[in-house]
Structure 1
Amino acid sequence: MADVAIAARMNQLPIGSMHRKITAIIGISLFFDLFDVFLAGVLGTVLTKEFHISGAAQPLLLGSAFLGMFLGAIALNGLADRIGRRRAILFVLVVYSLFTFLGAFSSNVAFLIVMRFLAGLGIGGLPPLADTYLSEMIPAAHRGRMTAWAYTLGFCAMPIEGFLARWLVPTHYGMAGWRWLFIVGSLGAIVVWLLQHHLPESPRWLESMGRVEEARAIVSKLEASAGQTVAAQPVRDTWVEPQKVPLSTLFSADFAKRTVMLWIFQILQTFGYYGFGTLVPLVLASKGITVTSSLTYLTLSFLGYPFGSLLSLPVIERIQRKWLIVLSALCMAVFGILFGMSTAPGLITAFGFLYTLSSNIFSNAFHVFQAEIYPTAIRATAAGSAYSLSRLMSGLMPFLLLPVLKAHGATAMFAVVACAMVLIMIDVGALGPRTSGRALEEMNESVIVHAGSPLNG
């Protein structure tokens, strides 16, 4: 098998039991990660009253975890290119789990802000790591669908968190109910550590590090779990990547357009995606809705997250990823403004649901997309550095959008969000490459070799 590329063997496989286990474990990891991301947003009004938070400190509480995510997305994804995808994922889980647990015992707002920042170091590292890992483990023809399944499982966290908040916040089981939400959010590392022996290292990463025999052994297990060996079907390609690719590749003539496109996208997407999930309790409060009622509306709106993720499954391999991002961004712009204008409970819930549904079609498409457009040796670093910009903007977002909300109301705030979504549509539509169904090595051929010879363009 020495003359058969590892990537070619992986791309020709059908989905087997090992692929499904990997997808499920990553989905469970994302569940707890996303649960943690939205904690401060869901509890925004509750924590404001608990700690008598001033208007000046409120954006800092909401943004502290995102600022930690900014640093975590850079550092921990760079680490994954050096120590491996699997080890980096497990390390990330420990970091965010530990500090989320400690956050449950905060005695004042300063301690909580620090714990949210430190938890953010781990939270920010996981999504781009998961995107990179799944893109390298799943065959090209199934990459979008299986990644969407992982995120569908992960996005179940939002409505479950809403229901738990609706139940726990008014209670006091030994301590305030909101503290139990933090403890629930910290359990993710324990669950994944129990399952981690099912999580193999990425053969593509092993091969890029020169550990070819280890890579072949894992590919053989993938083939066995899928009921197929390399001899069972002709190999369709023999793309082979070099072991090392310099980080400057991000800004080379072949990849500069992709890097600019992805960085612009990540700077803007946070206004649409996290602008809703983080600030909607405060939006509802600005409409005069009580904490208890707002948690009910929030929970019903958050049902759109898993439903939107499910809706992406039949289309994510049929519609080019870039155009799926553009279409869903348009829907977010429209439904956001309608949500901001609504005052009736039924319309608030309906447009909130449609917004979150659209946003998770958007989210699934871009999570697959961002991990497809760079070579293996720098894939995690490239995705993580771009993703870190969205975390930085998420940290700054409350400072940018809350003043608009307070001064001009919800409709004006969502008009700002809509402008960001329109710019994303132009950016991705004009600069984004076509990726659906293509092998990772084929899309990144300008920095790899084919049959031992450099490729041009």
Structure 2
Amino acid sequence: MSDVGTGTISTKIPARLDRLPWSSWHWMIVIGLGTVWILDGLEVTIVGNLSAQLARPGSGLDITAAQVAGVAAALYVAGACSGALFFGWLTDRFGRKKLFILTLVVYLVATLMTAFSFSAWWFFLFRFLTGFGIGGEYAAINSAIDELIPSRHRGRIDIIINGSYWLGAAGGALLTVPLLNDLPVNIGWRVAFGLGVVLGLAILLVRRNVPESPRWLFIHGKDREAEEIVGDIERRVGGDLPEPEQSTTVHQRKSIGFLRIAHTMVALYPKRTVLGLSLFIGQAFLYNAITFGYAQILATFFKIDTHTGYYFAVIAVGNFLGPLLLGPLFDTVGRIPMISATYIGSGVLLLGTAWLFAQGSLTAVTLTACWSVVLFVASAGASSAYLTVSEIFPMETRAMAIAFFFAIGTAAGGITGPLLFSSLVATGVPGDTALAFAIGALVMIAAGLVELFLGVKAERRGLEAIAPPLTTADAPRPA
């Protein structure tokens, strides 16, 4: 292609993007890219709350509730992990826009096909493919958002966007109540999946207007296209925009090899790799100590086996309010103080909840209130894990880094967590469930301590200053 070069260039594109004032254009980015987490929250919650209806005679599927909660959930997790890794690699290689369009299409088609399920194997197949698309979304979307949002807003926007998962979870929990009670057994669950498709189509219409990341373009030899996109953004934003002084010099490449990407994480940034793993595994264990078995806990200890969606909606609201209200502090107070405080603080709060539960001092309402407080703090921390791994590695590895840590965290939370915590809750002994809470809390606290020692001061700094691109002339090299 004539517009693709492989020379050495100096560019002010990163600095020009970072100095932009907040505008309606940035809101378009947030809506077009960020709202997909609402879809994920809606998807996961709907399936969890529909498991009983899917297993009822006349649902149109020969499937048990255990298969929905077990096999289908495991396949969704497996799909999300593999999709993140596969599409993450493609995102770094072929660009952000191609992949965030493709992954959303995969999600839409798979969800639509799930709504038309006629057999258990069909349902399982498209649960896997739905997860495959959602996993790819995490890699493609987080990398694109961080590269398009000005550095002084990046922390709060990323955290709020990732926290919006719980807005979808609250909506999914409330939606399932009328769908379960007011529609025929073979229709309600299909309508629930159909709602996800409608929302996804609306997001796709907005997403078409989101440009490719100029940062990705100039590194991959398409500096002319990158200049045109940034110039168009500046015209849309308007106002008096001073010319930045800082420039970045890169050796352009058409592609970056996978071995180079893997080598970067292990050899150049080993401490940051340990940090990313700690943050993802910590939040995965805390969340699964609570959310995986919340309905089982309510049924086992408080004899509440209907309308659990209302309780989950309350928990989900607490989860969303945390990133919304605490998110700005990650840009002002700073990453290390806020990440460590939310991880350690939520862990300590969960330990207190475990003690109260073991003493028999809680009711279903007060336990839900405790969970909401814990997750108000924890949700901001969990969202900051995605922010951290998307900004502390070089641009060429960004999507793959997000995919790698997402896959590890999701596998730890979606496989190890449920196996461990469900067995403890199933005994019906309050002390065992309290132990499940304590395990999740201690792993979360440990991750917060790792942040204190290995955290990176990334607030209000350009991505290239936090981790120079591998193609930058003065990029760090292994010893």
TM-score, structure 1 as length reference: 0.90
Q: Is the 8 A contact 1:330 1:425 kept in 2?
A: yes
Q: Is the 8 A contact 2:10 2:248 kept in 1?
A: no
CA RMSD of aligned residues (A): 2.7
Alignment of 1:315-354 (within 5 A): 315-339=329-353, 341=357, 343-354=362-373
Separation in structure 1 between the aligned mates of residue 288 and residue 55 of structure 2, nearest angstrom: 19
Q: 1:71 to 1:453 in 2, by over 3 A?
A: closer
**Selected match of 1:221 from 225, 232, 245:** 232
Q: 1:456 to 1:111 in 2, by over 3 A?
A: closer
Query: What residue is the counterpart of 1:129 in the other structure?
Result: 140
Q: 1:414 to 1:112 in 2, by over 3 A?
A: farther
Q: Is the 8 A contact 1:53 1:109 kept in 2?
A: no
Query: What residue is the counterpart of 1:165 in the other structure?
Result: 176
Which stretch has the larger CA shift, 271-280 or 426-435?
Answer: 271-280
Alignment of 1:366-445 (within 5 A): 366-396=385-415, 397-407=417-427, 408=429, 409-445=432-468
Query: What residue is the counterpart of 1:239 in the other structure?
Result: 248
SS of 1:200 mapped into structure 2: coil
Shift of 1:164: 0.6
- Opposite residue 19 of structure 2, the aligned amino acid is Q
Q: 1:197 to 1:185 in 2, by over 3 A?
A: closer
Which stretch has the larger CA shift, 385-394 or 165-174?
Answer: 165-174
Q: 1:105 to 1:355 in 2, by over 3 A?
A: farther
Q: Is the 8 A contact 1:332 1:418 kept in 2?
A: yes
Q: Is the 8 A contact 1:18 1:225 kept in 2?
A: yes
Separation in structure 2 between the aligned mates of residue 305 and residue 359 of structure 1, nearest angstrom: 8
Q: Note the residue ranges of structure 1 that are not aligned, 5 or more in a row.
A: none
Query: What residue is the counterpart of 2:23 in the other structure?
Result: 16
Shift of 1:418: 1.1
Q: Is the 8 A contact 2:166 2:317 kept in 1?
A: no
**Selected match of 1:290 from 299, 304, 308:** 304
Query: What residue is the counterpart of 2:315 in the other structure?
Result: 301
Query: What residue is the counterpart of 2:82 in the other structure?
Result: 71
Q: Note the residue ranges of structure 2 that are not aligned, 5 or more in a row.
A: 1-8
Separation in structure 2 between the aligned mates of residue 111 and residue 332 of structure 1, nearest angstrom: 40
Deviations 1:69-91 (A, max 9, x none): 11011001111112211111111
Q: 1:410 to 1:40 in 2, by over 3 A?
A: farther
- Opposite residue 279 of structure 2, the aligned amino acid is F
SS of 2:238 mapped into structure 1: coil
Q: Please tell me whether residue 261 in structure 1 is matched to residue 275 in structure 2.
A: yes
Query: What residue is the counterpart of 2:3 in the other structure?
Result: none
Q: Is the 8 A contact 2:142 2:390 kept in 1?
A: yes
Separation in structure 1 between the aligned mates of residue 376 and residue 247 of structure 2, nearest angstrom: 39
Q: Is the 8 A contact 1:316 1:324 kept in 2?
A: yes
Separation in structure 2 between the aligned mates of residue 49 and residue 399 of structure 1, nearest angstrom: 25
Query: What residue is the counterpart of 1:201 in the other structure?
Result: 212
Q: 1:93 to 1:347 in 2, by over 3 A?
A: same
- Opposite residue 316 of structure 1, the aligned amino acid is F
Separation in structure 2 between the aligned mates of residue 412 and residue 248 of structure 1, nearest angstrom: 37
Q: 1:107 to 1:406 in 2, by over 3 A?
A: farther
Q: 1:56 to 1:158 in 2, by over 3 A?
A: closer
- Opposite residue 146 of structure 1, the aligned amino acid is I
Separation in structure 1 between the aligned mates of residue 126 and residue 352 of structure 2, nearest angstrom: 35
Q: 1:275 to 1:236 in 2, by over 3 A?
A: farther
Query: What residue is the counterpart of 1:5 in the other structure?
Result: 12
Q: Is the 8 A contact 2:311 2:368 kept in 1?
A: yes
Deviations 1:90-132 (A, max 9, x none): 1111112222222234445444333222211111121232221
Deviations 1:123-178 (A, max 9, x none): 11212322211110011111112223434544321211111122222222573423
Shift of 1:228: 4.4
Query: What residue is the counterpart of 1:313 in the other structure?
Result: 327
Q: 1:312 to 1:7 in 2, by over 3 A?
A: same
Separation in structure 2 between the aligned mates of residue 293 and residue 62 of structure 1, nearest angstrom: 21
- Opposite residue 243 of structure 1, the aligned amino acid is Q
Shift of 1:420: 1.7
Which stretch has the larger CA shift, 3-12 or 198-207?
Answer: 3-12
SS of 2:307 mapped into structure 1: helix
Q: Is the 8 A contact 2:106 2:130 kept in 1?
A: yes
**Selected match of 2:104 from 78, 93, 97:** 93
Shift of 1:205: 0.7
Instruction: Report percent identity of matched pairs.
Output: 24
Which stretch has the larger CA shift, 160-169 or 201-210?
Answer: 160-169
Shift of 1:317: 0.6
Separation in structure 2 between the aligned mates of residue 75 and residue 226 of structure 1, nearest angstrom: 35
Query: What residue is the counterpart of 2:159 in the other structure?
Result: 148
Q: Is the 8 A contact 1:33 1:126 kept in 2?
A: no
Separation in structure 1 between the aligned mates of residue 332 and residue 93 of structure 2, nearest angstrom: 34
Q: 1:22 to 1:395 in 2, by over 3 A?
A: same
SS of 2:328 mapped into structure 1: coil
Separation in structure 1 between the aligned mates of residue 363 and residue 376 of structure 2, nearest angstrom: 20
SS of 2:146 mapped into structure 1: helix
Shift of 1:384: 0.9
Q: Is the 8 A contact 1:66 1:394 kept in 2?
A: no
- Opposite residue 423 of structure 2, the aligned amino acid is P
Separation in structure 1 between the aligned mates of residue 367 and residue 121 of structure 2, nearest angstrom: 33
- Opposite residue 401 of structure 1, the aligned amino acid is F
Q: 1:265 to 1:49 in 2, by over 3 A?
A: farther
Deviations 1:297-347 (A, max 9, x none): 112221112211211233121232233222222233244345551641330
Separation in structure 2 between the aligned mates of residue 29 and residue 442 of structure 1, nearest angstrom: 29
- Opposite residue 317 of structure 1, the aligned amino acid is D
Q: 1:256 to 1:354 in 2, by over 3 A?
A: same
